[in-house]
Amino acid sequence: MSMKTFFVRKMLKAKGVSDDQIDMIMTIMEKNPELFKKIQSEVEAHTKSGMNETMASMVVMKKYQSELRDLLTKQ
């Protein structure tokens, strides 16, 4: 397990995410890490422009909704 994976798991666990959900999230992140890098950078860009993090996440996730759905159905 890489350090990045370790810290993502710990952060999700600290937020109260169940082990099953953590496994699902880690699986889809490993399938398409570039997509998640794009999502992260776009959320950061929105927050730097003044949008709160929750709203920025919702806007960006909606933009990539079909790609995320495809990853979830291909498990």
Q: What is the pLDDT of residues 19-73, one digit of tens each?
A: 999 998 898 888 999 999 999 999 999 999 999 999 999 999 999 999 999 988 8
Q: Is the pLDDT of residue 75 over 70?
A: no
Amino acid 2: pLDDT: 83
Amino acid 52: pLDDT: 95
pTM flag (> 0.95): no
How many alpha carbons lie under 13 Å from residue 12 in its C-beta half-sphere?
16
CB 26 within 8 A of CB 5: yes
Amino acid 1: pLDDT: 67
